[in-house]
Chain A
Amino acid sequence: ILNVEQSPQSLHVQEGDSTNFTCSFPSSNFYALHWYRWETAKSPEALFVMTLNGDEKKKGRISATLNTKEGYSYLYIKGSQPEDSATYLCASQAAGNKLTFGGGTRVLVKP
Chain B
Amino acid sequence: DADVTQTPRNRITKTGKRIMLECSQTKGHDRMYWYRQDPGLGLRLIYYSFDVKDINKGEISDGYSVSRQAQAKFSLSLESAIPNQTALYFCATSGSNAEQYFGPGTRLTVT
Q: A: which residues have CB within 8 A of B?
A: 4, 6, 9, 32, 34, 36, 42-46, 49, 89, 91, 93, 97-104
Residues of B within 8 A of A98 (CB): 45, 48, 58, 98
- Does A99 lie within 8 Å of B45, measured CB to CB? yes
Residues of B within 8 A of A91 (CB): 43, 100
Known: A44-B102, A46-B99, A99-B100. 6 other contacts (CB 8 A): A34-B98, A43-B90, A43-B102, A97-B96, A100-B59, A101-B35
Residue of chain B at shortest CB distance from A93: B98
> Given that A36-B100, A44-B100, A46-B99 are contacting pairs, would A101 and B42 also be in contact in the complex, using a CB cutoff of 8 Å?
yes
CA distance A99 to B90 in the complex (A): 14
- Does B99 lie within 8 Å of A89, measured CB to CB? no
Those 9 A-B pairs whose CB atoms lie nearest each other, nearest first:
A43-B102, A101-B42, A97-B98, A101-B43, A103-B42, A46-B99, A44-B102, A93-B98, A104-B42
Residues of A within 8 A of B31 (CB): 97
Residues of B within 8 A of A104 (CB): 42
CA distance A102 to B40 in the complex (A): 9
Q: Is B84 interfacial (CB-CB < 8 Å)? A: no
Residues of B within 8 A of A97 (CB): 31, 48, 50, 94, 96, 98
Residues of B within 8 A of A49 (CB): 97-99
8 Å CB contact of B40 from A9, A32, A45: A9
